[in-house]
Amino acid sequence: MGMLLNISSMIDALTRYVGRAIIWLILAATLISAANAVARKAFSVGSNAFLEIQWYLFAAVFMLGAGHAFLQNAHVRIDVLANKLSKRTRMYIDIGGILFFLLPMCYLISSFAWPVLMAAYTSGEVSSNAGGLIRWPLYALVPAGFALLALQGVSEVIKRAAFLSGAGPDPTLHETDAHDPLDTGHAHSAQPASGEVNK
């Protein structure tokens, strides 16, 4: 289990690195949007490329940030049901959901997206809009994003299995990273709620 936990830690580190890097894409998209608006209004100058790069940057944040949201336990849960289950039961449900739904979904979507990406790269597909951008970098975000999400899924399975075997802490309760700009407040205190320990 120790080796698996080391692998999980490496995956988590990669996920945090990607999460912290892509936040700058939001700033870039904001600056490009502002510059484009000023250029259009003040100088009557504009380009479809400026509009499309904003879409690309938004897509990059959305796709590449999914794994980070999973790491931070920020994904949506049906709390009205989950809160009625014991901690161990929730862990088993999480493991089953990751193994039988999340990982196969990531594989299927990536396998369908890959031929589209390669065709666009080979043909040099460009946006149909005048002055538009090449398309393959946008298509590449799909397999890249789902690969990162699948990796984080593997890490979460390891951490939950470690918790169930008594070899690791509760992965859904962790210290808030004060240096993490993407922490949305979903991270909980490292101390479990009263009565959670023995469930």
pLDDT digits (tens, 9 = 90+) for 16-66: 999 999 999 999 999 999 998 898 888 887 788 888 999 999 999 999 999
| Residues 89 and 168: beta-carbon distance below 8 Å | no
187: pLDDT strictly greater than 50: no
Q: Please give the Cα distance from 140 to 72 (Å, whole number).
A: 24
The pTM score is: 0.82
DSSP letter for each residue of 142-190: HHHHHHHHHHHHHHHHHHHHHHHTTSS--TTS----TT-TT--S----S
| Residues 5 and 163: beta-carbon distance below 8 Å | no
pLDDT digits (tens, 9 = 90+) for 136-157: 999 999 999 999 999 999 999 9
Domain ranges of the chain: 2-164
